[in-house]
Amino acid sequence: MAKGLGTDADKADVLQGTLDLMVLQALASMGPLHGYGLARRIEQISDDLLKLNEGTVYAALMRLQHRRWISATWGASENNRKAKFYAITRTGRRQLARYTSNWERISGVIGRLLRTAGSH
Partner 1 sequence: MFGRLWRRRRVDDDTRAEIDSHIELLTDRFIRSGMAPAEARAAATRQFGNATWHREQIHTMNGIRWMDELWQDMRWSVRSIRHRPTLAAAVIVTLGLGIGSNTAMFSVVQATLLQPLPYRDADRVVYVRSRSAEDQSLTDAAAEDLQRWAPLLTTVDRMEARRWKSVLLTGGEGATRVRLLEVSVGYLDSAGSRVLSGRGLHPDDTRPGATPVALISERLWRSRYGARADLLGRTITIDAAARVIVGITTDIRSDTPGLRFMVFAALPTGGDAAKERALGVAWLKPDVTREAANAELQSVSASVDASGRAHTGTFEEPRNLFWRLSEFRTSQLALMAGVSLLLVIACVNVASLLLGAGQGRAMELALRRALGASRFRVARQMLVESLVLALVSGALGLAVAWSTLQFFVALEPGIQLQTQLETIRLDAGIVGYTIAVALVTAVVCGVVPALRGSATEPRTTLVEGSGRTATRQSGWPRAFVAVEVALSLVLLIGAGLVARSFLQMRLSDAGFAADRVLGVQIALPPDRYRAPEQRAAFFDDLRARASRLPGVTAVGFGYGAMPPTDFVAQGAFEADDGQRADFQAYLSHVSPGYFELMGIPLVAGSGFEARHLEASSASDIPVVISSSLRRRFWDSANPIGAGFRLTERGRTRRYRVLGVAGDASGGGLSRANCPKCQWQLYVPLPANRQYTEVLLRLADGAPPPTAALRVAIADIDPSVPSDESLRTAEVSLHRFLATARFRAALFGGFAALAVALVAFGLLAVVYHSVKQRTREIGIRIALGARPSQMRRQMLAHGLRPVIAGLVAGLLLAWLVTRTIATFLLGISPTDPLVFFASPALLAVVAVAAILGPVLQATRLNPVDVLRSE
Closest CA to 22 of 51, 49, 66, 60: 60
Tell me which of 15, 54, 87, 93 binds partner 1, using CB under 8 A: 54
Q: What share of the chain is helix, strand, coil (3-state, %, to 5)?
A: 60, 15, 25
Q: How far is the CB of 76 from partner 1 (least distance, A)?
A: 10
Residues between 74 and 93 with contacts to partner 1, criterion CB under 8 A: 77-79, 81-84
Q: How far is the CB of 102 from partner 1 (least distance, A)?
A: 24
Q: How far is the CB of 17 from partner 1 (least distance, A)?
A: 16
Closest CA to 37 of 82, 86, 71: 86
Where does this chain bind partner 1 (CB under 8 A)? 1, 4-6, 9, 34-36, 39, 53-56, 58-59, 62-63, 66, 77-79, 81-84
